[in-house]
């Protein structure tokens, strides 16, 4: 279980570092990595205090990494949500091909 938490922590750190280097074009300062390190340290402490919940805590740690990874992707889940909100704000529905139609328009 400890190895899984350490692996999840390292993967989370890699996601944060990649995002900063790729998007902001600078290496992270040490203080930017303390937040994620503290979060995973708390998860590790909870796993030590409550060993019965260890597998749930490890899954939560990896779930946080997956959520962070989806936001790292260029058109990840966050981009899809923004597209949907914009289409709804324009009063149109999005068809599978990505074009918008007015709400009153019918197919065919």
pLDDT of 32 reads 81
User: What is the helix (H) or strand (E) element at residue 69, kind and residue range?
Assistant: helix 54-72
Cβ atoms 26, 19 nearer than 8 A: no
- pLDDT digit string, tens, across residues 36-54: 899 999 999 999 999 999 9
Domain ranges of the chain: 2-89
Which residues of the chain fall below pLDDT 70? 72-82, 91-108
pLDDT of residue 94: 55
State residue 23's pLDDT score: 79
Quick one: pLDDT at residue 69?
85
| Contacts of range 41-44, beta carbons closer than 8 Å, 24 or more positions apart | 43/5, 44/2, 44/5, 44/9
In the block, residue with structure tokens 């990595």: 33
Quick one: pLDDT at residue 61? 94
């Amino acid at each position: 279980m400890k190895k899984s938490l350490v692996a999840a922590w390292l993967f989370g750190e890699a996601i944060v570092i990649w995002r900063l280097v790729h998007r902001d074009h600078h290496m992270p300062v040490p203080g930017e990595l303390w937040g994620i390190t503290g979060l995973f340290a708390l998860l590790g402490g909870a796993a030590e205090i409550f060993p019965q919940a260890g597998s749930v805590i490890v899954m939560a740690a990896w779930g946080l990494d997956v959520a962070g990874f989806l936001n790292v992707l260029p058109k990840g889940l966050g981009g899809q949500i923004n597209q949907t909100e914009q289409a709804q704000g324009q009063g149109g529905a999005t068809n599978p091909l990505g074009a918008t139609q007015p709400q009153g328009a019918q197919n065919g």
